[in-house]
Amino acid sequence: MLAANTYKNFINGRYFNEGIRMTAGIALPAIIFGYFNMLNIGVVLSTGALCVSVTDSPGPLHHRINGMFFCNIIVSVVALISYFSFFSTISTAIEILILGFIFSMLSVYNARVSSVGLSALLIMILCMQTPLQGAAIFYHTLYLLAGGLWYLLFSILLNTIRPYKIIQQLSGDLLADVAQYLNTRALFYEDHPDYENIYRSLLQQQVKVQSQQAMLSELLFKTRAITKNSTQLGRSLLKIYLDITDLFESIMSTYQQYEILHKKFDETGILPAYRQQLVMLSLELTGIADAVRAGNRSIAANDINNNLAAIKIKFQTLRREFMTEHNIKDFIALGRIFNNIKALTEKISGLHYYTAFDKKNRISAVKDIDLLQFAEAQTIAPELFFNNLNFNSNIFRHSLRVAASLFAGYILSLFFNIGHSYWILLTIVVILKPAYSLTKSRNGDRLIGTLLGIIAGVALVFFIKNNNVLLVIMIVLMIGSYSFMRTKYFWSVLFLTPYLVIFFHLLSPAGLRQLLTDRMLDTGLGSAIAFLSSLFFVPVWEHTSIKNYMVLMLKNNIAYYDCIVPGFTGEMPVKKEPLKKARQQNLTALANLSDAFNRMLSEPKRFQKHTEFIYRFVVLNHIVTSHFSALAFYLKEQKKVFTSTSFLPVIEATKLQFEKSIAILQNETAIESTVSDEDVFEIMNDEAMQLLALRKKEVVGGMLETEIKTQLIEAGSVTEQFTHIYNISADIEKNIKEFNEQ
């Protein structure tokens, strides 16, 4: 069953659909022109389509069109420049240096612009395969342009036929990632949890969630048909996105003092019951994700409501039999977890309704959304390019590295006079990335995938003599390669290599043996150059820039905190849209920080500095973000929240500790606090302690459900969150002091 579901999800997923789209768009010109005995022209058209397809990543249609349109222009211009520069090795080397640097620098902009730069480098290298002269240059360039324009029109046509398909697939991916995140959070409630591994998994998964969320929000809120709520399907997809965003925030707000909970309640069996419900909810979300991808209606797979009712009875029995005046606060925490799980259950149950995509189920239009809060505008400002022309910029260093590596690969190919030497440069371009960790990973994938792919390709052409069958297999391999291109590079190379083996076998069977030798040799040389360059040529190690991520994280903590606290001090009403924006920026900063730390762990050991302190910093910020989310959750979900001006001293003291941490990281003089911890907490805890004393008397008298209980939960919950946030901010400051002293 699991294998069948995995297969079905892959077929319905966006990567497989993308693989089919790219294969059809690239292969059709060659197939059609080959049928009319004009395969050479068809291959050139397919090359133009290949370059443009690189930029056809998910996003608003007008962004995709703009990206592919300008890619066509740039690819055509670069092709002309390349052909005219091939009259000498010196001019070719100069072209490689200049264009290698310029188009790598486009990475300072967004991913789509970066992919245009990659396409330009690809066509520069591919043109080296067949140097041309005279009128043939212009004909060849026109064929490339025609192939690129064909792919542009083909992509627009597919989007017109199924305009919402990519949004459904991305929505399903986001739901699946949130389900995995929830399943990992459930591990906190198992016996003897491994906290370090759980936090590490959560941080990695949050990066995935943030990435999917950012991509989907841009696509949703910059697509006119969606934002105008003009169709039932559009409204359903928008509601699913908004609900899953709220759901993720609810999951983030469930952090508790797990060590204390296990110490107090391990013998009662309530924590495993909580874990079971969370796992069931995770499976329910996964089922909804599968249905959304396929465009089907999801059906509840687990009896989550009955299980929740059983947990409620278990909790009430436990409270009735074991709660005393000494453990009231522990039961308040336990009850808060139950209420959160109940809210999650209701939210996930509600998601089933929107997956019907049925006109009979009328879903009201979503109003009062500030779209800019979800999808911020992206500008292609020239000054951003020029401002990065310095050694402080990682992209600048990477661009120098690419240019130097391509130059070295070209010179090496001349020195050894290697056949198909352009493969050396292709290997460098696709492997060499700004982050050493990604370059290292791709290097291994490229080498092993190429070797295994050659073996598979040779086996196919040896045992299969029917060219029509080989052609079908080649197309299947193309689909596989393009399907895994953006996610699993090893599998992409593993499918790509036998596809190339079959392609060249069909073109020239006699030269296949030499081709295979060249392929392996060129790949090995390109990989070696890319690896050595990333290791020794103007490298950038994460420990040199990690402080920037840490400072940005702390600044976003203050900004998010500032948006939340007015709702609990009674100073002013909380403004929803600034709060949403601050929350999003805070989570993005945390994801970027976590991603940078994970990249550091993939670097050579001698460049991994202060990892213990940085890991602790990342975890502490993950925890404090959960507490921020808990406060924001109270503001949103509760009709009336506990407010008091007694929170002001602890709020100011917390912000001061964040500011001190920033000052230490930036080697500035930190402002010292004149208020002690006792003074900070004395005023804030006074009201809660009075309510707690009254509640203890009620418990002794056997009174369980009272107004005082409700007030204590409200006051205690808020007070506890402010206390935790203050204590964590103090831990962050202490950790940074130790980090800075190393």
pLDDT tens track for 124-161: 998 887 778 889 999 999 999 999 999 999 999 998 88
Tokens coding 537: 């040529």
Instruction: Answer yes or no: is 58 within a domain.
Output: no
**8 A C-beta contact, residue 596 and residue 545:** yes
User: Which residue from 556, 544, 552 is spatially nearest to 599, judged by alpha carbons?
Assistant: 544
Instruction: Answer yes or no: is 244 within a domain.
Output: yes
Q: How confident is the model at residue 372 (pLDDT cuts 50, 70, 90)?
A: very low
Q: Is the pLDDT of residue 710 over 80?
A: no
Domain final position from 469, 500, 531: 531
Based on the fold, state whether residues 664 and 715 are members of the same structural domain. Answer: yes
Rounded CA-CA distance 553/566 in Å is 21
Based on the fold, state whether residues 304 and 442 are members of the same structural domain. Answer: no
pLDDT on residue 96: 94
pLDDT on residue 203: 84
Mean pLDDT score of the chain: 84
Domain count, the chain: 3
Provide the whole-model pTM. Answer: 0.84
Q: How confident is the model at residue 165 (pLDDT cuts 50, 70, 90)?
A: confident
Q: Regarding predicted confidence, which is higher, 659 or 569? A: 659
Residue 559 Ramachandran class (φ > 0 left, ψ -120 to 50 alpha, else beta): alpha
Instruction: Answer yes or no: is 236 within a domain.
Output: yes
Based on the fold, state whether residues 716 and 588 are members of the same structural domain. Answer: yes
DSSP SS3 for 656: helix
Q: How confident is the model at residue 49 (pLDDT cuts 50, 70, 90)?
A: very high
Rounded CA-CA distance 572/45 in Å is 62
Domain final position from 531, 561, 593: 531
Stretch 176-188: mean pLDDT: 92
Residue 420 Ramachandran class (φ > 0 left, ψ -120 to 50 alpha, else beta): left
Q: Regarding predicted confidence, which is higher, 692 or 51? A: 51
Stretch 233-258: mean pLDDT: 82
Based on the fold, state whether residues 245 and 224 are members of the same structural domain. Answer: yes
CATH code at position 638: 1.20.58
Cβ partners under 8 Å of residue 171, min gap 6: 216, 237, 240, 241, 244, 292, 293
Cβ partners under 8 Å of residue 593, min gap 6: 549, 550, 552, 553, 618, 621
Q: Is the pLDDT of residue 704 over 60?
A: no
Stretch 479-500: mean pLDDT: 90
Stretch 471-482: mean pLDDT: 92
Q: Is the pLDDT of residue 509 over 80?
A: no
**8 A C-beta contact, residue 336 and residue 713:** yes
Based on the fold, state whether residues 442 and 552 are members of the same structural domain. Answer: no
Instruction: Answer yes or no: is 635 within a domain.
Output: yes
Domain hosting residue 293, numbered range:
162-370
pLDDT on residue 217: 84
Question: What amino acid is encoded at 258 in this protein?
Answer: Y
Instruction: Answer yes or no: is 279 within a domain.
Output: yes
pLDDT on residue 319: 81
pLDDT on residue 373: 46
**DSSP type of residue 109:** S
Based on the fold, state whether residues 589 and 506 are members of the same structural domain. Answer: no
